């Protein structure tokens, strides 16, 4: 049985005490930290840059996963790699030459992943799949936290899982958006093995540790 990995997304964390919150997530069993980068063009929001990754690198030993929700990610790969990023997720929809971008990520010695939005079919990954370490299926429209899981994405998660098993066994299948104790088991049943969760971890009234335990328990049943 595949162990499901948890990737807390700091987009909804309290930035006044970000280091402490990430450290608590690490102690609670997080497998990696998910950093959402937005440019205000590819998605209608602005968020953090490489300086945040550099700061996090000093306070956690966990892999830092940078999700570039931006156009032309090639311009920023070196900067984030130098800041301490361990893996990149770039969007199929925001790229002019996806193969070039993936190969550049690999040349930097980093893990490469491709993300697809809810309206993008899994079939677009067919040609690039053999080069990937990770696939990310967005289960909300990217750009904001606190959104509800789109159940219509479940069949696509299953299609992506079938494609991975056929073309690149061992490639991770990640889901991002609206993941909580209710939606997580559905995503895992569909084939996901990495769960990105923001609000369900950092905005839980019971605290980060309790939230992580609840999410872990939800996918172990």
Catalytic site positions: 36, 176
How far apart are alpha carbons 21 and 90 in whole angstroms?
A: 26
User: Which residue is associated with the tokens 């440019």?
Assistant: 39
DSSP-assigned beta bridge partners for residue 69: 38
Backbone angles phi, psi at 115, to 5 degrees: -105, 145
Which contacts of 17-21 are long-range, i.e. CB under 8 A and separated by 24 or more positions?
18/52, 18/55, 18/56, 19/55, 19/56, 19/59, 21/202, 21/208
How far apart are alpha carbons 218 and 207 in whole angstroms?
A: 17
How far apart are alpha carbons 15 and 53 in whole angstroms?
A: 13
User: Which residue is associated with the tokens 């980093």?
Assistant: 110
**Going edge to edge, which strands form the sheet with 5-8?**
5-8, 194-197, 172-176, 134-138, 111-116, 87-91, 64-69, 33-38
């Amino acid at each position: 049985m595949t162990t499901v990995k948890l990737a807390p997304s700091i987009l909804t964390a309290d930035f006044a005490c970000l280091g402490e919150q990430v450290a608590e997530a690490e102690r609670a069993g997080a497998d990696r930290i998910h950093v959402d980068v937005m440019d205000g063009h590819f998605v209608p929001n602005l968020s953090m840059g490489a300086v945040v990754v550099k700061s996090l690198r000093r306070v956690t030993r966990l892999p830092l996963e940078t999700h570039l929700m931006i156009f032309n990610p090639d311009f920023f790969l070196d900067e984030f790699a130098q800041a301490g990023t361990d893996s990149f997720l770039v969007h199929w929809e925001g790229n002019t030459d996806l193969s070039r971008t993936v190969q550049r990520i690999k040349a930097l010695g980093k893990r490469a992943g491709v993300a697809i939005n809810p309206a993008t079919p899994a079939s677009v990954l067919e040609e690039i799949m053999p080069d990937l370490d990770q696939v990310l299926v967005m289960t909300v429209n990217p750009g904001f936290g606190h959104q509800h899981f789109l159940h219509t994405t479940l069949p696509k998660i299953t299609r992506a899982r079938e494609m991975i098993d056929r073309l690149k066994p061992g490639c991770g299948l990640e889901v991002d958006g609206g993941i909580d104790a209710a939606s997580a088991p559905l995503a895992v049943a569909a084939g996901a093995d990495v769960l990105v969760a923001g609000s369900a971890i950092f905005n839980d009234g019971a605290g980060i540790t309790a939230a992580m335990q609840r999410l872990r328990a939800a996918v172990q049943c």
